[in-house]
A and B are shown apart, each in its own frame.
Chain A
């Protein structure tokens, strides 16, 4: 140790200390965490993209239903502000169509995955603040989808008549 102390006292020390290597490790660790976050962000982005792709199809469904019943387009105003949908019944075409939208927006009975001893619905992501609305005025129909707690907005419009 005497010799070792002498060595430490020298001005010219070669190599790195344990402290330096630990600091270096922490910096590399932060880099790893950042990369992991980047990866999880890209996975979420892909999921969002998939959901948006489905939203596109659902918007088309809504607009197609409006186009298919142009004389009653004004009855197709619709607002769904919660994530729980319940059909409301009715024999009119627009009421049936709106119930269809409710079912499809929930992907009811499409596809179920095994979970535990039974099956679980695969539903599109829906959180508080998300909403689906349609507006019809002057022969123009519009669909507004708010997703990601209402932060992401998607508007689509069509001339119904």
Chain B
């Protein structure tokens, strides 16, 4: 044997290998854990952001819905010449229309109108649209200025993808007493609204309208439900999800087959600023402002 031995013994090498392997395994599992956590966090952040964007926009539009500029009648570029004509399209929701109701066939189609100047009126639609060749649906927003036609017709936002991966979109209107108000529908209406008596003639301060049109002015609150899933799979095990948005008989109720996505339902309730407003009376005469014609409303 040499006097001076350099290098490791076999035992030292084996111990070093074992320690090294433990370290590598720990590092690998930690990396895996961080990776999964990051994926999960970013997916949840994505749906939170989507919900915030969509609900803020929808809330703002619903607050504006039904606004009629005091000088709109007579000046409208669409040729609207009476208060009644202006009030035929304010706010509308239709349920479960084939082709407009998302992947599970239960979503709503929301339409609303409001004036942005004495001559212009904006029409906004929200509904679920199939994303190209995928099996996913996104919440679309479509804006048309002066949709009835005329020189100022324009289509500034054409079926824009607002937020992706939406499983359900429900809008429930309620009147000033907190009761569910149906039907409130003037566009894309279908069998659901027909069964609710949409075509029944109803007397209003602006002349006879059908029930779907007359109910627009009664909408006091809009409850909005939005169910969104994560863009990528989050869970390691597939599971089914049950969605129940809205009130009983007015909303959705379906089960999504087992998958590994995380889902969240976001809810917001909005008070309509321009509809179902308290009737103001002139103190001296007791006459209601807003019922007669020619008064600044």
Give chain A's interface residues, CB within 8 Å of chain B: 3-4, 6-7, 14-15, 18, 21-22, 25, 28-29, 32, 35-36, 39-40, 42-43, 46-47, 49-50, 53-54, 57-58, 60-61, 64-65, 67-68, 71, 93, 96-97, 100, 104, 107, 109-115, 119
Contacts and interface: CB of A to CB of B under 8 A. Distances in A.
A111 B264 contact: yes
Given A53-B48, A93-B176, A97-B178, A112 B241 contact: yes
Contacts of A54: 266-267
A60 B59 contact: yes
B241 A113 contact: yes
Contacts of B239: 113-115
A57 B271 contact: no
A21 B176 CA distance: 75
A58 B220 CA distance: 18
Nearest to A4: B5
Nearest to B270: A64
Given A25-B19, A61-B269, A43 B225 contact: no
Contacts of A6: 3
Contacts of A14: 6
A107 B30 CA distance: 35
Contacts, number: 120
B242 A21 contact: no
**How many B residues touch the partner, as a band?**
35 or more
Q: Is the interface of B mostly helix, strand, loop or mixed?
A: mixed
B102 to A, nearest CB: 15
Given A36-B33, A61-B269, A46 B178 contact: no
Contact of B267 (A28, A57, A93): A57
B3 to A, nearest CB: 7
Contact of A32 (B8, B26, B264, B278): B26
Given A60-B59, A65-B269, A93-B178, 9 more contacts: A25-B19, A25-B22, A36-B30, A39-B33, A60-B268, A64-B269, A68-B221, A96-B177, A110-B265
Nearest 8 Cβ contacts at the A-B interface: A68-B271, A96-B178, A61-B269, A112-B242, A114-B239, A114-B240, A110-B265, A109-B244
B271 to A, nearest CB: 4
6 contacts: A49-B45, A96-B177, A100-B269, A110-B244, A111-B227, A113-B241
B48 A64 contact: no
A43 B23 contact: no
Interface of B: 1-6, 8, 12, 15-16, 19, 22-23, 26-27, 30, 33-34, 37, 40-41, 44-45, 48, 51-52, 55, 59, 176-178, 220-221, 225, 227, 239-245, 258, 263-271, 278
Contact of B264 (A22, A40, A50): A50
B267 A18 contact: no
A26 to B, nearest CB: 11
B25 to A, nearest CB: 11
A46 B269 contact: no
A61 B271 CA distance: 9
B23 A110 contact: no
B30 A35 contact: yes
B265 A107 contact: yes
Contacts of A109: 244
Nearest to B241: A113
Contacts of A35: 30, 34
Nearest to B246: A109
B230 to A, nearest CB: 11
A111 B59 CA distance: 22
Nearest to B2: A3
A25 B8 CA distance: 19
